[in-house]
A and B are shown apart, each in its own frame.
Chain A
Amino acid sequence: MIGFEINGSAIELDVDPDMPLLWAIRDAAGLTGTKYGCGAALCGACTVHVDGRAVRSCLLPVSSVAGKSVTTIEGVSGGTAAAVKQAWLELEVVQCGYCQSGQIMSAVELLERNPSPDDAQIDSAMRGNICRCATYARIRDAIRLASRSLSGRSEA
């Protein structure tokens, strides 16, 4: 049994300790918002927060999050998350949407660490998140928009 917190609730999973966190979340916990894209920490589709840090869940053994707090797209909340989601909707970032859970989890963590990232910092924080629909220009704009709305500045 591996116990951890997921989206604020305690959970105990009877799974292979080597099972990647991604599959524990999807197949055992039944939360399917976190996506599989590469299984090799190359695409970012599986990004979740572990104790507030963005991690790729597809390679991380579930045993390594025992006792920790995991947040997925279904549970991510707070002012930064709200601002990011609002910006995503306002700028119509999504196309197929498959990468977007991971994009949003990475963007929220970035803005929580650095509320006013410049373009280079955005590119570097989001580098690990592939979008095959190439929504990148809007992702960049949406992060800037969320950043502005968080700092209370009006839209430039």
Chain B
Amino acid sequence: MSAKTRVNLARRSFLKAGVGAGAGLTLGVILPPLAAAQDAAPGLPGSGALVAGRFEPNAFVTIAPDNTVTVISKHLEMGQGVYTGLATLVAEELDADWDQVAVSAAPADASRYNNLFWGPMQGTGGSTAIANSFMQMREAGAAARQMLIAAAAERWSVAAGEITVESGVVRHASSGRSASFGELAEAAARQPVPSAVTVKDPADFRLIGKRVPRKDGSGKIDGSAVFTQDVQLDGMLTSLVAHPPRFGARVNKVDSAAARAVPGVVAVHQIPSGVAVVARDFWSASRGRDALQIDWDESGAVTASSATLMASYRERAQSAGLVARSEGAVDTALEKAANRLDASYEFPYLAHAAMEPMNCVIRLDEQGCEVWNGEQLHTGDQMALAGFLGITPQQVRVNTLFAGGSFGRRANPQSDYLLEAAAIAKAGGGKAPVKLVWTREDDMRAGWFRPMYFHSLRAGLDAQGRPVAWRHRIVGQSIGAGTAFESAMVRDGVDSTSVEGASNLPYAIPNVSVELHTTEVGVPVQWWRAVGSTHTAFAVECFIDELAHAAGRDPVEYRLELLGEHPRHSAVLQLAADRAGWGKPLAEGKARGVALHESFNTRVAQVAELSRMPNGGFQIDRVVIAVDCGIAINPDVIRAQMEGGMGYGLSATLESEITIENGAVVEGNFDGYRVLRIGQMPKVEVHIVKSAEPPTGVGEPATPVIAPAVANALFALDGKRARRLPLGVNS
């Protein structure tokens, strides 16, 4: 990365087209931004056209005569800071002034706004937003800059090479002329779109790596930021749905007379997912729903309960599963080992419980359908809605709003709540826009949980305590099976998201076997912040700690010795250990624990420091986090994601648990499904590894590391190994 990177856009577009060839080489589907710009409809960002004096050099940037630079975000802002990150990339290459930059959400459009890591699909997840956009956004900014320079050169009759751009001002030093972006916008729009651009040498970065204010900060402290819950349209009605009490149950008969009699209730519809009450406002809909008399047909309902399921999972783990990774001869090595260790770990179902319960607004009209949603799977939902309504995807116009958290939930592979809203709007004859609102209980009980899992591990150590064999069996439901993602996620019966974090065990052990038993349970499951790592990191990092202890070794040194081929892992571990004062004596009643994990190509190490409480419980005093996520675009956003991601994982470490009983969810609100509160939040320190590698995601990787760090600290405190999550309250 020492020299400026010259990017040949035509060549890149060819390469990108090649990637999508399996899906049909339709240029409209996989065109890169600059070429796509020529293709887009006039008036849309990226049309390359001049709309009311605005300069729209490509699908990601518009510059208005009032000097506003608008960065169009193809990704959902759900708290992870992506608006700020994408704007930083564009502003950096454009040499814009940070204050002149605004961000707006892109429409759903796979041809211009696809996630470059996902082929022809637009969506936000897997901590890919910044990683897949890194060059795309920089190129977009650089192209716009080049066109502004060309316009200035033409206007001033000077050579383009003599023109400089700094903080939103285009300048020709020797003639003393200068112009704002806004003044040049119209002329720039008439310049040819460059076929190649030059992006900056990292040594010249002014914004990347610096702290800049978040773009979504002020609207979120004065009540003006608009979430889906806040959308108000003329004539809009609000709908609540009575869902079946058990998974798999259906409506047999409904008596809706009392519900219809509630003032404000407009209609009651039976829909595939239950019974919808449509009313003038939330309160009327809620009272109407309470008044419904529903006779449920539970003949096909799920009968499973968490406790019996776990017992059956434990049983399954006795036998070999499908192979996710196999090296050497594990059974022989285990037999010959000087010392053998066994451990098992249990993980409950988990709800995402985003602060904003699921909701969306749908309006059916002559053109098709318009949606307002914290949209995370833009074109997946667009296609699902089109299929359901019998229209084309282009007829589904998606307005993406801020999401009040998601943690994966809003990227539902079955478009569950969107199709529910569409069913209600359709049942009402499409006359009024409908806002579907889920209550907290609806959100918690409708499912789409992080699956329940059982892990069984066995390791063999040689006489020196070095691990020579490692067998890891995982039992649980597949997230990908039966979804549009199955072909990408499931290979030879192994769902990669069930084993990720285990199958890529970084420790050098000559004989390794990672096996999977996939179970089928009628409880809907889905990715939950950090997906497979939410359980695999715990199993691997608790067990390696146990091995270190059995070998009589320091847990950090033991890991480091086994990480020879993974210098970036070693470096984050070392950094966290150093900053936490690892090895330094602690006061009586205090202890430290460590864990290290890579997810989404980002390495995170955490050291948790605990104190025993007088009541016998424990308190987490401090967590030191080290992260290697490549080039740090926005260090403060990275810190925030490390703090918050760790805190999100801490809820599941300490208290959160969804219990299934006879096919029904026991917990309904934050009294039963307990989550982290302020008094439980430790002090957090975040240290970012300096790196010139391409950036990797930060939204998820902090989440899975805290549970093993805390469990290992608990062992250091009281000598007991945790075998299940959650651990139980700490104070």
Are B678 and A136 in contact, with the CB atoms below 8 A? Answer: yes
Q: B241-267: contact bitstring with A at CB < 8 Å (1 yes, 0 no)?
A: 000000000000000000000011000
Interface members, chain A 122-156 (any B CB < 8 Å):
122-124, 126-127, 129-140
At the interface with chain A, which of B403-411, B515-523, B551-559? B403-411
Interface members, chain A 1-60 (any B CB < 8 Å):
15-16, 19-20, 23, 26-28, 30-40, 42-43, 45
In the assembled complex, the CB of A113 is this many whole angstroms from the nearest CB of chain B, namely 17
Which residues of chain A have C-beta atoms less than 8 A from B218's C-beta? 89
Q: For the complex, what is the distance from the CA of A35 to the CA of B213, rounded to whole Å?
A: 24
Given A20-B283, A85-B222, decide whether A124 and B679 contact each other with a Cβ distance below 8 A.
Answer: yes
The answer to the question of B400 belonging to the interface, with a C-beta cut-off of 8 Å to chain A, is no
Interface members, chain B 215-232 (any A CB < 8 Å):
216-227, 229-230, 232
Given A133-B355, A136-B678, decide whether A32 and B440 contact each other with a Cβ distance below 8 A.
Answer: no
Are B679 and A95 in contact, with the CB atoms below 8 A? Answer: no
- From A42, A88, A136, A139, give the contact of B671 (CB < 8 A): A42
Q: For the complex, what is the distance from the CA of A43 to the CA of B650, rounded to whole Å?
A: 17
Q: For the complex, what is the distance from the CA of A42 to the CA of B668, rounded to whole Å?
A: 12
Which residues of chain B have C-beta atoms less than 8 A from A70's C-beta? none
Q: B17-32: contact bitstring with A at CB < 8 Å (1 yes, 0 no)?
A: 0000000000000000
Q: For the complex, what is the distance from the CA of A124 to the CA of B678, rounded to whole Å?
A: 8
Q: B649-692: contact bitstring with A at CB < 8 Å (1 yes, 0 no)?
A: 01100000000000000000111000111110111100000000
- From B222, B636, B651, B678, give the contact of A127 (CB < 8 A): B678
Q: For the complex, what is the distance from the CA of A45 to the CA of B213, rounded to whole Å?
A: 24
Are A35 and B229 in contact, with the CB atoms below 8 A? Answer: yes
Closest to A86 in B: B221
Q: For the complex, what is the distance from the CA of A136 to the CA of B587, rounded to whole Å?
A: 26
Q: For the complex, what is the distance from the CA of A72 to the CA of B404, rounded to whole Å?
A: 19
Are A130 and B677 in contact, with the CB atoms below 8 A? Answer: yes
In the assembled complex, the CB of B665 is this many whole angstroms from the nearest CB of chain A, namely 16
The answer to the question of A97 belonging to the interface, with a C-beta cut-off of 8 Å to chain B, is yes
The binding surface of chain A is classed by DSSP as: loop
Are A98 and B355 in contact, with the CB atoms below 8 A? Answer: yes
The answer to the question of B331 belonging to the interface, with a C-beta cut-off of 8 Å to chain A, is no
Interface members, chain B 171-216 (any A CB < 8 Å):
213-214, 216
Closest to B212 in A: A92
In the assembled complex, the CB of A92 is this many whole angstroms from the nearest CB of chain B, namely 6
The answer to the question of A80 belonging to the interface, with a C-beta cut-off of 8 Å to chain B, is no
Are B678 and A40 in contact, with the CB atoms below 8 A? Answer: no
- From A27, A101, A130, A135, give the contact of B640 (CB < 8 A): A135
Which residues of chain A have C-beta atoms less than 8 A from B407's C-beta? 132
The answer to the question of B451 belonging to the interface, with a C-beta cut-off of 8 Å to chain A, is no
Are B643 and A34 in contact, with the CB atoms below 8 A? Answer: no
Given A85-B221, A137-B684, decide whether A98 and B227 contact each other with a Cβ distance below 8 A.
Answer: yes
Given A33-B223, A34-B223, A135-B640, decide whether A96 and B671 contact each other with a Cβ distance below 8 A.
Answer: no
Closest to A143 in B: B678
Are B403 and A96 in contact, with the CB atoms below 8 A? Answer: yes
- From B78, B222, B354, B643, give the contact of A74 (CB < 8 A): B222
In the assembled complex, the CB of A132 is this many whole angstroms from the nearest CB of chain B, namely 5
Which residues of chain A have C-beta atoms less than 8 A from B640's C-beta? 92, 95, 135, 138
Which residues of chain B have C-beta atoms less than 8 A from A133's C-beta? 79, 355, 405, 644, 647-648
Q: For the complex, what is the distance from the CA of A130 to the CA of B471, rounded to whole Å?
A: 40
Are A96 and B648 in contact, with the CB atoms below 8 A? Answer: no
Once A and B bind, how many residue pairs between them come within 8 Å at the CB atom? 180
The answer to the question of A99 belonging to the interface, with a C-beta cut-off of 8 Å to chain B, is yes
A sample of 26 inter-chain contacts (CB < 8 A) reads: A15-B283, A23-B282, A32-B223, A37-B356, A40-B669, A40-B670, A42-B669, A42-B671, A43-B670, A74-B223, A89-B213, A89-B221, A95-B640, A95-B644, A96-B79, A97-B402, A99-B355, A123-B679, A124-B679, A130-B355, A130-B677, A132-B354, A132-B405, A134-B681, A137-B647, A138-B640
Which residues of chain A have C-beta atoms less than 8 A from B284's C-beta? 16
Q: For the complex, what is the distance from the CA of A135 to the CA of B643, rounded to whole Å?
A: 7
Of the candidates B221, B222, B356, the one having the most CB atoms from chain A within 10 angstroms of its own CB is: B221
Are A94 and B214 in contact, with the CB atoms below 8 A? Answer: yes
Given A89-B213, A130-B670, decide whether A136 and B405 contact each other with a Cβ distance below 8 A.
Answer: no
The answer to the question of B80 belonging to the interface, with a C-beta cut-off of 8 Å to chain A, is yes
Are B403 and A33 in contact, with the CB atoms below 8 A? Answer: no
Which residues of chain A have C-beta atoms less than 8 A from B415's C-beta? none
Closest to A99 in B: B355
Of the candidates A33, A72, A129, the one having the most CB atoms from chain B within 10 angstroms of its own CB is: A33
The answer to the question of B281 belonging to the interface, with a C-beta cut-off of 8 Å to chain A, is yes
Are A23 and B283 in contact, with the CB atoms below 8 A? Answer: yes
Which residues of chain B have C-beta atoms less than 8 A from A92's C-beta? 213-214, 217, 636-637, 640
Closest to B80 in A: A95
The answer to the question of B710 belonging to the interface, with a C-beta cut-off of 8 Å to chain A, is no
Are B650 and A134 in contact, with the CB atoms below 8 A? Answer: yes
Q: B347-362: contact bitstring with A at CB < 8 Å (1 yes, 0 no)?
A: 0000001111100000
Interface members, chain B 407-451 (any A CB < 8 Å):
407, 437, 439-440
In the assembled complex, the CB of B639 is this many whole angstroms from the nearest CB of chain A, namely 9
Which residues of chain B have C-beta atoms less than 8 A from A111's C-beta? none
The answer to the question of B646 belonging to the interface, with a C-beta cut-off of 8 Å to chain A, is yes
Are A122 and B232 in contact, with the CB atoms below 8 A? Answer: no
In the assembled complex, the CB of A7 is this many whole angstroms from the nearest CB of chain B, namely 10
- From B214, B643, B648, B678, give the contact of A129 (CB < 8 A): B678
Which residues of chain A have C-beta atoms less than 8 A from B695's C-beta? none
Are A122 and B220 in contact, with the CB atoms below 8 A? Answer: no
Which residues of chain A have C-beta atoms less than 8 A from B217's C-beta? 88-89, 92, 94
